[in-house]
């Protein structure tokens, strides 16, 4: 899968990006999940600021395809949620639970994407903000920019930028991740009390591979605007499924499963951090890099994940359709849990109980051992070692 990722013009590890920014200042806490800046509003040495940018990625091309095939505009609301959550839950891993200020950036090709799509996305954004507010997370919409850039965007891309500030003593720096910690995994799939339907769990990572590996080549001719013409033709929509196909293992069609909005963990993690912040040694959002993500944030620790959730149906379907090795699957996708909490065993049990009250799957997925270098072992469908 990772080699096909490269052939499709994508990098799971973003090596070129990391090389380009390697000389830049890493902020106040270099191992924190987000760059932490001195307080920008008052200069107070006890406070800090976080500004973060991310987006829905190529998932919007899939939303376009699904909308054209089915007429279902509502999938665009999920794209708005994706752009928000890829920011909020990264910032959450640095200890931030709001209030957040958001600005969105939408670039569209007006010949393909009309005003009804923009309206649906902006309504979806407000609807999602209201859900967060109902769980005690403060959010302000600062507006944004929508640009008609058909010369460079084939369909639509949705990005967002978020800002918050917090006391420095509340920052989770990940420097506390240590031998003896247990790892609580929060499930990326299923349905919580704050979601309207079943979530396939994929989030907003690995969609370039997932949609091409699962969906039928009939879409290549119907929607050439949804893929890069430089991709080898045998890697363009090389699967067997239509977006409306139903499989026995999932309660929603294949296309809807791939488009499941990226789940936020803020409603669960806000009460967790309110009660147990001082007990949490690290938080990792298993986005780009999947189950190997934590390796970038540890030192002299061997993370062993030996009790993962059973592989969710959507990920099994992707593996069967692509023929990817399990090593590649674990490196590109979250494979069932997208948030990891590093803590002691007693606190882990309390966190699992809180997650259960939201009907969110949670379990101790692994432990940390001493090591002379950063290392991650995933004991899933196969044993895979990173580092």
Instruction: Please give the pLDDT value at position 25.
Output: 85
Place of tokens 């009390």: 193
Q: How confident is the model at residue 82 (pLDDT cuts 50, 70, 90)?
A: very high
**More confident of the two residues 114 and 20:** 114
Instruction: Please give the pLDDT value at position 363.
Output: 98
Does residue 1 surpass a pLDDT of 50? Answer: no
Cis amide leading into 118 (omega within 30): no
For range 242-254, the mean pLDDT = 96
For range 323-331, the mean pLDDT = 94
Instruction: Please give the pLDDT value at position 383.
Output: 98
Distance CA 44, CA 335 (A): 41
- 368-387 pLDDT, tens digit per residue, is 999 999 999 999 999 999 98
Q: How confident is the model at residue 359 (pLDDT cuts 50, 70, 90)?
A: very high
CB 64 within 8 A of CB 155: yes
The terminus-to-terminus CA distance of the chain in angstroms comes to: 19
Question: Sign of torsion, CA 280 27 338 191?
Answer: positive
Does residue 336 surpass a pLDDT of 70? Answer: yes
**More confident of the two residues 367 and 21:** 367
For range 291-305, the mean pLDDT = 97
CATH number at residue 46: 3.90.650.10
CB 182 within 8 A of CB 363: no
Instruction: Please give the pLDDT value at position 14.
Output: 64
Tell me which long-range contacts 113-118 makes (C-beta under 8 A, separation of at least 24). 113/64, 113/155, 113/156, 116/73, 117/67, 117/73, 117/76, 117/156, 118/146
Kindly state the DSSP code that residue 111 receives in the 8-state scheme.
Answer: T
Share of the chain above pLDDT 90, in %: 92
- Domain range for 297 is 2-386
Domain count, the chain: 1
Q: How confident is the model at residue 26 (pLDDT cuts 50, 70, 90)?
A: confident
Average pLDDT, the chain: 95
Which of 11-20, 110-119, 168-177, 286-295 has the weakest average pLDDT? 11-20
| Burial letters 353-367, b for 16+ CB under 10 A, else e | ebbeebebbbbbbbb
- 182-208 pLDDT, tens digit per residue, is 999 999 999 999 999 999 999 999 999
For range 307-321, the mean pLDDT = 97
Which of 19-28, 33-42, 329-338 has the weakest average pLDDT? 19-28
Instruction: Please give the pLDDT value at position 4.
Output: 73
CB 76 within 8 A of CB 121: yes
Q: Which residues contact 15 (CB under 8 A, 6 or more apart)?
A: none
Does residue 232 surpass a pLDDT of 90? Answer: yes
Instruction: Please give the pLDDT value at position 2.
Output: 55
**More confident of the two residues 11 and 353:** 353
Instruction: Please give the pLDDT value at position 271.
Output: 98
């Amino acid at each position: 899968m990772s080699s096909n990722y490269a052939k499709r013009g994508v990098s799971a590890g973003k090596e070129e990006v990391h090389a380009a920014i390697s000389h830049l200042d890493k902020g106040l806490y270099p191992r924190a999940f987000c760059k932490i800046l001195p307080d920008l509003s008052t200069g107070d040495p006890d406070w800090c600021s976080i500004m973060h940018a991310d987006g829905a990625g190529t998932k919007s091309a899939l939303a376009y395809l699904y909308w054209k095939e089915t007429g279902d505009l509502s999938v665009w609301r999920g794209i708005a949620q994706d752009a928000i959550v890829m920011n909020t839950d990264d910032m959450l891993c640095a200890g931030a639970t709001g209030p957040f200020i958001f600005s969105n950036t939408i670039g569209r090709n007006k010949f393909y994407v009309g005003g009804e799509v923009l309206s649906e996305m902006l309504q979806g954004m407000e609807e999602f903000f209201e859900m967060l507010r109902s769980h005690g997370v403060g959010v302000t919409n600062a507006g944004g920019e929508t640009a008609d850039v058909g010369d460079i965007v084939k369909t639509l891309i949705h990005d967002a930028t978020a800002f918050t500030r917090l006391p420095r003593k509340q920052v989770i720096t990940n420097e506390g991740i240590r031998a003896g910690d247990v790892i609580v995994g929060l499930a990326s799939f299923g349905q919580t009390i704050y979601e309207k339907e079943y979530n396939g769990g994929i989030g907003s990572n690995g969609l370039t591979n997932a949609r091409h590996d699962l969906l039928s080549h009939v879409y290549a001719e119907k929607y050439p605007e949804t893929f890069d013409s430089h991709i080898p033709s045998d890697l363009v929509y090389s699967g067997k499924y239509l977006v409306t196909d139903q499989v026995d293992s999932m309660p929603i069609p294949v296309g809807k499963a791939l488009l499941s909005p990226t789940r936020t963990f803020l409603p669960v993690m806000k009460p967790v951090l309110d009660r147990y912040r001082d007990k949490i040694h690290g938080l990792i959002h298993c986005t780009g890099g999947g189950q190997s993500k934590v390796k970038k944030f540890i030192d002299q620790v061997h993370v062993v994940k030996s009790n993962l959730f059973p592989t969710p149906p959507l990920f099994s379907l992707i593996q069967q359709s692509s023929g990817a090795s399990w090593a590649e699957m674990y490196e590109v996708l979250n494979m069932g849990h997208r948030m990891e909490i590093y803590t002691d065993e007693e606190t882990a049990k309390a966190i699992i109980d809180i997650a259960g009250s939201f009907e969110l799957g949670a379990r101790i997925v692994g432990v940390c051992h001493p090591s002379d270098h950063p290392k991650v072992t995933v004991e899933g469908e196969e044993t895979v070692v990173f580092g």
